[in-house]
Structure 1
Amino acid sequence: MTEDDYHRYIEAFNARDYDRLETFFADDFVLENAGFAVRGKAAFRAFYGFFHDYCREEVEFREFFPGKQGFVSNVVIWFTGLKELSQEELDVRGYGGMTPIPVGMRVPVEFYIHYLLNEEGLIRYIKGAVWVPEAPAAQ
């Protein structure tokens, strides 16, 4: 996958075009996210069909780092709360590592996301790390 391909991937994600987005995935891909795993395209649709009902995600591209087996991207994901979602609901669905975003609140979170590709160049594995900036020094 090239950087240009990745920009098309982000465009599909931001548009909620799951059909186009899935063309980038291997059938058996895995997304590890906040302490749980989404395995395969059907699980991907189920997770994002649920989550995007409650929260809008907009990916803002920063950098692309190609590697031997895939790539790493640096993005800021803007989360906007759309509907009330409780921590209990996330826990019941197995998404307990996530934090609900209050309705109307828009929160930026910086990620470094590691993508591994299969032999055909399709995404087979995704795992992100959240960037937590250094706290300001005490005065």
Structure 2
Amino acid sequence: MMTEADYHRYLAAFNARDYAAMETFFADDFVLENAGFAVRGKEAFRAFYAFFHEYCAEEVTFREFFPGNQGFVANVVIRFTGLKDLSAKVLAEKGYQGMSVVPKGVSVEVEFYIHYLLNEAGQIRYIKGAVWVPESR
């Protein structure tokens, strides 16, 4: 089972862009489902983030950890900062058309509840995020 301390190590690896360290937390056949598309396996994970982090910096800030029977849910805030213009056309060409456009120089903070399912060895086998949208004022 993955503990909150393990998750903090995972986030530290993510924020450092240490994909090799992150992948030690993943099952070989893990799936990341996001914005209407899926990334399947470690090779696809690396390809997705090589593309995305060319256009956008991400920094994850931890809020809460909710352990469960088959995995856990984490509440995080992700700050996205555009490094190059990430247009709808570029996203569609790569097959990631469900993602949000992030213009160069713009920073946006988004709160997520991310559901992680684990395999019997305690590795992440499935990731799916839900975005929390605050009440309009």
Give the TM-score normalised by structure 1.
0.97
SS in structure 2 at match of 1:9: helix
What are the Cα deviations for residues 80-127 of structure 1, in whole angstroms up to 9, with x where unaligned? Answer: 000122111101111001112111111000000000000000000000
Unaligned runs of 5+ in 2: none
- Report which of the two structures shows the higher radius of gyration computed on alpha carbons: 1
Aligned 1:35-54 pairs, distance under 5 A: 35-54=36-55
How many pairs align?
136
Aligned 1:1-139 pairs, distance under 5 A: 1-136=2-137
- Displacement over 4 Å in runs of 4+: none
Deviation at 1:50, TM superposition (A): 0.3
Deviation at 1:53, TM superposition (A): 0.5
Could you tell me how far apart the structure 2 residues matched to 1:134 and 1:82 are? 29
RMSD of aligned Cα (Å): 0.5
Could you tell me how far apart the structure 1 residues matched to 2:86 and 2:78 are? 19
